[in-house]
Amino acid sequence: MRAFFFCLLLLLSLSLQAQFTYTLDQSIPVEGKQATLSMPWVGGINAAQYNTMDLDNDGVEDLVLFERMAGKLFTFLNKNNQYQYAPEYESFFPSDVTNWLLLRDFNCDGKKDVFTGNVLGIKVYTNVTQPGQTLTWKQYIFYDSGGKSEVLLTKGYSTTKINLQLQFDDLPNIADVDGDGDLDIFNVRFANNGTIEFHQNYGMERYSRCDSLDFERITNTWGNFTECSCGVYAYNGTACRTTNGKVEHAGGKSLLMLDVTHDGQLDILLSEATCSQLFMLPNQGTLLSPVIESEVNFPSSNAANFLYPAAYYEDVDFDGLKDLISTPNIFTKTILSTNLSNSNWYYKNTGTNAEPTFSFVQSNFLQDQMIDVGDDAVPAFADFDVDGDFDLFISQNTSANIAATVQVYENIGSSTSPHFKLIEDNYLGLASEFLYNMKIQFADFNSDGKPDLVFTATSLQDGYTRLYYIPNQSSSGLKFSALDLQVVNVDPTTISELAYTENITVLDVDLDGKMDLLQGKSNGALYYWKNSGSGNSPNFSLQTDAYLTIGSSVLRQNLACAVGDLDSDGASDLVIGDQTGEIRIVSNFRQASNADNAVGNLVWNTLSQTYEAKNLGGRIWPAVVNIFGTTRPAIIAGNVTGGLVVLRHDNTNELSGPPVIGIYPNPVVVGNTINVSSDRSVYLQIFSSTGQIIRDNIVIRPNEVNIVDEVTQLARGLYILRFVWNNQSVSKKIVVY
């Protein structure tokens, strides 16, 4: 019997999986302010760490980014000296890449290996990919007299080897600095003042092989200086000034060792976590006898002006010369890192690799080819121009000193072949409302049959995060005015009812014709607030603090939800995203007792030929919309890195013929509402049996249950419901008794 139930559960799981299967779609063209974007749906980047390696074994270097704010890898193929986003390679890297990623060939086999962070230091993975294979790695194990270690070991000032420990937000320098063919390491001393350690690799000296990571710490005061705080250094072995008896020292630090002064010796490019400048410290000595006595801002002109600017030295323009890229080495948004849509600064190398000379090119490298609004991009869809297709709206975060805006991308394509063009970057002039942390959606909040603009946002004036809405004044399409902006009190027992990172989804949970709320809490719980009010006077009461048994958990944070009929079975499904960047779907959620069977392996990988759970960009905000005119809608997800990704259902057909309309109940008791569903966006008109129009332009949203309360005003009799789409129409009869 137990085996029978196991097989039944397995079949149920496979059945659910088959309903929710998607591909990452890159096909929708997008026009920005000045030109068509070459890769709009990558998802945006903020704090990217730059590496190159050959991903597809074609003999040319491709691009690998580790996005620190999202904990996500981005992989790009070099196709004819143009970058092409190739997300299928991302899942082939070690799953525990943490804090930072440096790709270096430590064993001289021509293949880049992985160096990454760990709570105990540095982990190393050897690239063991064979010809014809996809990327394959083997963890490098270190040995000493005390046994084996999963993290990199170095010999200290005794015979015992110890972990080479880093702070979690440090970035070391790993390169062959003494020219002997093996890799050496520079890092800032752990949990102490800001001095630099030099760990020399003796693999070549002792074994005549570069594949032995045999390190010894040569010094923990390389250059005999200390970085005390932002822009403050103590030279010649002197101590930092003290404050209240304590030595000043800052948090995480990033290093790049490079001969910037063209004297054949390594100089230092250094930044730290509290500073918005990158400093160059010239070495007037040698590798083993360094002399560091000064610092200057670097570069001397067009220097990056964001928080914690780390530097990377890679060829990103395909000319064989390594360029300089500077990006913020941060984990979270801060006031000093406000403009994250221009946070990848590219300096072209016009010299040589031995003696580089850097010339500033742009502050938004790669970002200028993506939809990238900075951070916390939240998508919403509505028919902006009443032409029968969905247009795209994107809200953004910015920061606590710059107001957020909403961008509008008009669909200049069609309802089956979308093509978006940026036409407005401050919709309704919302920037003048002094709000940030804005997250928008369209929902019939006041139950009048028209989509309203609903959003949460944080006030620049008092710091409170609230729920707002603007009623739609148009009988068809959208007509909003910021003058109609209203504040909604979610919890009558508090003034500031929402935390900064929480999310609200407006929907009719219990199908009573009133818009309820699902609130994704910071602690990972999902609250359900029932609306017992009416129209413009909602009254919310908390029904449960663990809807679908989704309670608080250390494994998830900041849930964001969307609802739609994803599998065309006539029932609404619940899409859930969180800080992991992964999406889960609860099938027919109104009939579900819990979310235990939520499907997470949704995205098809063309290399592994499997469906996988995929990080879509750290914290995500999903939207369900039928932009391809197919039997099953797509999922568009915004993310913390400021961009969007498109999940297109891979088991669907284009819609043809008239829309599939569902009406229930029919006949309907006088004074009651009806439920209407459609497989595409349509407008509803209500006529009497004699042809007199009673109501016009009621919006019917696709792939969900629409409650039409206009019929509550109808007397007993026969009525005609006319559904209009793309200048076509179809009619249905209903009886009111």
Give the pLDDT confidence of 556-573 residue by residue, as tens digits. 888 999 999 998 888 899
Segment 343-354 shows an average pLDDT of 96
In the predicted structure, residue 1 carries a pLDDT above the cut 50: no
pLDDT of 336: 62
Average of pLDDT values for 216-234?
A: 93
- What is the distance between the alpha carbons of residues 421 and 126, in angstroms, rounded to a whole number? 44
Residue 707 has what pLDDT? Answer: 83
- Show Cβ contacts of residue 494 under 8 Å, excluding neighbours closer than 6 positions: none
pLDDT score of 6 more than 50: no
What's the confidence (pLDDT) of residue 649?
A: 94
Residue 7 reports pLDDT greater than 60: no
- pLDDT of 354: 92
Amino acid found at 494: T
Q: Which residue blocks in 441-516 are alpha helix, DSSP H? A: none
How far is 687 from 204, CA to CA, in rounded Å?
Answer: 88
Indicate the average pLDDT of the chain: 91
Which CA distances in Å does 369 have to 40, 516, 584?
6, 38, 29
The burial class, CB within 10 Å (0-12 / 13-18 / 19+), for 545 is middle
pLDDT in tens, 462-491: 889 999 999 999 877 899 999 999 999 998
Give CB contacts under 8 A, 24+ apart, made by 161-165: 163/120, 163/121, 164/121, 164/122, 164/199, 164/215, 165/120, 165/121, 165/190, 165/191
What sign results for the dihedral spanned by CA atoms 559, 562, 567, 571?
positive
- What pLDDT is attached to residue 334? 75
Query: Mind listing the pLDDT tens digit for each residue in 628-676?
Result: 988 899 999 999 999 999 999 997 776 777 888 889 899 999 999 898 8
Q: Going edge to edge, which strands form the sheet with 486-488?
A: 435-443, 452-459, 465-470, 486-488
User: Rounded to whole angstroms, how far apart are CA atoms 295 and 186?
Assistant: 18
Q: Are strands 420-424 and 30-31 parallel, antiparallel or unpaired?
A: parallel
Query: By mean pLDDT, which of 350-354, 507-511, 618-622, 698-702 is the weakest?
Result: 698-702
pLDDT average, residue stretch 26-38:
94
Q: Residue 218 CA to chain centroid, in angstroms?
A: 41
Q: Which among 490, 501, 649 is positioned nearest to 577, based on CA atoms?
A: 501
Please identify which residue in the block is written with the tokens 């010094």: 219
Largest alpha-carbon pair distance within the chain?
99
Q: Which residue stretches of 272-352 are H helix?
A: none
